[in-house]
Each structure stands twice: as C-alpha cells, then as structure tokens.
Amino acid sequence: MERHAPTGEHRAIVYNPHERDSTRSKRMILDIQEILGFLPHRYPFLLIDRIVEFERTKRLVAIKNVTINEPFFQGHFPDYPIMPGVLVVEAMAQAGGIIMMYELPDRQSKLVVFTGIERAKFRRPITPGDQIRIEVEVLAFRQRAGRILGRATVDGKLACEATLTCQVVPRVREAKPAADAGPASSGEQVEAEAAAAAAVTGTE
C-alpha cells in the first residue's frame, strides 16, 4: 500500500503503463509544500522547487528555477552571476534526501547528511533564468545510509554530475556520554558509523 504524504498534503500520481513493474510502478509529483514536509531545509537553503518524477527507492527528478533574487548572486559574482557549483551538488543531495526521508516513518526526528562526494564534475555555468533539471539515481540503499548518482542539466545539456553518499542521523543531537561511560560508548558509536558507511561504499 502506498504510504501517505504528510498530513494535510495532496500528491498527484502519474501512471506510466509502459513500465515493467509487477507492483504497478507509480511516478509521483510533489509541489513545494509537499517538499517542505520531507526536507528540513528552508530559505535561503532549500534548493529544489518541484518533484516531477519519483520512483520510490530508485530515482527522482527535481526542478530548480534559478532567479537573480538568489542571495548567493550578490557575491558570486558581482556583474557576472554564476550559481556556485557546491550549491548545485547540494541541490542533488536534497533531491536524494527526499528518496531516503520518504521511507522513514519517523522522518520528523531525522536528518539526511552528506558523508561523501565523489567524481564531481562541472561542465557549464548555471546563471539566472536557467531551469535546472536534477536527476538522481539510487546506486545503493539502506535504512540508515545511501549512495546516489546525480546529474544536473539545463536545456538538455549536462551542467554538473557527482556521486554522493549520505547517512540518516537524529535531528536533535544526542547528549554526550557520561564520563564514567566514556571511551567504550564513543568507540562503539564510531564503529557503528564506520560499518554503515562501509556498507554503502562497498568497502566491507
């Protein structure tokens, strides 16, 4: 059964009869209000405006409309505005974050954070007036970690691509262990995090 979107929100679902999926694949479209229900990011750091395709645990396509009103254009660069490449990668990560957050029943208490950026390449500048199409494909998926391939295009031309790894963490920082619990608890936590990262990167 399809999991419902956050309370009070509605979602359009587009069916593609040509897809081969025994469970009848569904491609979902999410508007900005629905995106806000999955991501904790807010202005000026929310970098996707709409989801136009979404296949759970597989792939997602998002749209980002770039305008001269973006705050980063004030300094990057005066008289020659270019969207910073790191923010294009961040937009990919946010798109991938929705894929992971969608599967979490307790998403309101979780965050999805970067753990790695690999093979990032920037092919062409993105400037005011551009519409970025952000396509992310899941390479590996676990309950607490994931690995995605991201591509950003403008007018069908590749602007940026990168492979990203990420991890699910508590949204509220946990209290530091008491002094008497000390090194053992910290060590166990480090080992658990290392194991999760290795499971995603395939270095086990």
Residues annotated as catalytic are 76
Residue 30 β-bridge partners: 51
Q: Which one, of 93, 107, 68, 193, lies nearest residue 148 by Cα?
A: 93
Instruction: Tell me if 142 sits within 8 A of 200, measured CB to CB.
Output: yes
Give CA separation, 29 vs 26, 50, 92, 110, 116, in Å. 10, 8, 17, 23, 28
Q: How many CB atoms lie within 10 A of CB 64?
A: 25
d(C-alpha 161, C-alpha 188), whole Å: 35
Q: Pick the closest to residue 58 from 102, 113, 90, 6 (CA basis).
A: 102
